[in-house]
Structure 1
Amino acid sequence: MTFGLQYSNDDGVVTVDSEFTRLVVLAKGTYRPTQESNLGSVTTFPRTITSQEPPLIFCRPTGSSGVGAVCYARVIGSPGAWTGFYIRTYSTGTLQPYGTYFAAGFGAQAVADWGMRLWDANKKLLFDSDTPYVRFTRAFQNWTYVKSDKDTQGYTRNYYRVAFNFPAGEHMLVNTFGMDMCDDNGFSRQLANWWDFSGGNLFAITSGNYNPFAFYMPAVFAKL
């Protein structure tokens, strides 16, 4: 940066820069069951998110024992007017969808009543005092295949796990786990995610007619 504003923290890490945006929090709160016999949850953001691209949703199921689940996530709304998101637990055998979330995007919104705002040369808002930055904490895709079985519809399910201790405050990016994946025959396979609090494992489950064993979907975590 040749001119402008740059702010570094005590560790020398640049946290605010007038040329580059970072991932910022646009909404945060809790989610809870609202439909589907307490299996599904629709959450409305405190304010509409006005970005053209859908926000990134990070979720953390509430629990210390049992198995939580983060499945079939989707953002509700349209470009320039994102209003909330949907999420679902896996089944009646997993914990109901209670948890915390934050929605993030690469560009701030003018929401603070006082503080500081920073724009780039193209008048894009980069920083607002009420849209703090997101801190990525880890990402991994070293899943270990565990087993396969059949679901109630006869589709093959593959189970993958990685040891995880669920550090306090860490939330997982759920946008990617809400999308179907390709299978071996041109069809799609569904993807789900379990938080096995009791066993200390994070699971990914794929389900489809032609369900290959290869699985490299990264799990991305961040915190405020």
Structure 2
Amino acid sequence: MFGLRVTNDSGVIQVSSEKPYMSLHAEGYQAIGSTYRTTITFAQPCTTTQPPIIFIRAERGSESEQTSFKCGVTGSPGNWTGFVLINGNTTQVNYLYWFAAVWRPLTASGNYGMRIRDANGDVCFHASSQLIKFSRVITSWTELYNDGFVATFGSGIIISSDEYMMASHCHTSMVSCYGGIQHIGVTLDADAQVMVTFTGHVTNSGIGYFPLLLAKKS
């Protein structure tokens, strides 16, 4: 076996030459206000084939109410330019922190720091990248509200002050098993409980295995 492998005290591989790492592409702070649709543009486009993954951490809104967002990445493969947020609660002023992550290190520059290459010679890790780590994955949901048109499910998980919710998988519509289209939103209540909101008829059994990732910046 060749290459480098670094493990922690628990035997978990933290750095190796065999796989890419999720690193920070861009980050920011956005005053959403009460706007329904907000477009956020990266300072530099993301040149990966796969779209970047968008994570958000909403501050408590002006009315201490529920905040809910859908998210869609803008651009095309090799030229991802930013993302769009759809605000599900325009009755209050919303502010949030965000970051975009990619499954590769940032472009290496300078003459210092460690670089690791994979078997193809591509840089898969270098010391100047700011790595992203998944802190928790939520897969269990409890129905909190359902009127047949909108359904909200709670996780019982309170997001911590340094965690972000993955939002970019809540941008596409999906076909309901009962017919029609469902829209998904990632949501926080006034106490910072992580929730998801669906439009259309959906139940606990219908939501099935819907993972929602929480992550932290290194």
- TM range, normalised to the smaller chain? 0.7 to 0.9
Residue 193 to residue 93, structure 1, CA distance change in 2 (3 Å): farther
1:176 is the counterpart of 2:169: yes
Gaps (5+ residues) in structure 1? 151-155
Report if the CA contact (8 A) 1:23-1:107 is conserved: yes
Matched-pair identity in %: 26
Residue 212 to residue 14, structure 1, CA distance change in 2 (3 Å): closer
1:191-222: CA deviation from partner (whole Å, max 9, x where unpaired): 12321133x533222113xx131213222101
Distance apart, 1:126 and its partner CA: 0.6
Distance apart, 1:70 and its partner CA: 4.0
Report if the CA contact (8 A) 1:41-1:86 is conserved: yes
Q: CA RMSD in A?
A: 2.4
Report if the CA contact (8 A) 2:32-2:96 is conserved: no
Aligned length: 212
Amino acid at match of 1:110: T
1:101 is the counterpart of 2:122: no
Residue 9 to residue 31, structure 1, CA distance change in 2 (3 Å): farther
TM-score normalised by L of structure 2: 0.85
Question: 2:36 is matched with which residue: 39, 46, 55?
Answer: 39
Distance apart, 1:71 and its partner CA: 1.9
Distance 1:74 1:185 in 2: 25
Alignment of 1:33-182 (within 5 A): 33=32, 38-63=35-60, 66-96=64-94, 98-113=95-110, 114-149=112-147, 156-182=149-175
Amino acid at match of 1:60: R
Report if the CA contact (8 A) 1:72-1:88 is conserved: yes
TM-score normalised by L of structure 1: 0.83
Residue 178 to residue 94, structure 1, CA distance change in 2 (3 Å): farther
SS at match of 2:196: strand
Gaps (5+ residues) in structure 2? none
1:137-171: CA deviation from partner (whole Å, max 9, x where unpaired): 11112111122237xxxxx1112112232211110
Amino acid at match of 1:7: V
Residue 87 to residue 81, structure 1, CA distance change in 2 (3 Å): same
Distance apart, 1:63 and its partner CA: 2.3
Report if the CA contact (8 A) 2:174-2:183 is conserved: yes
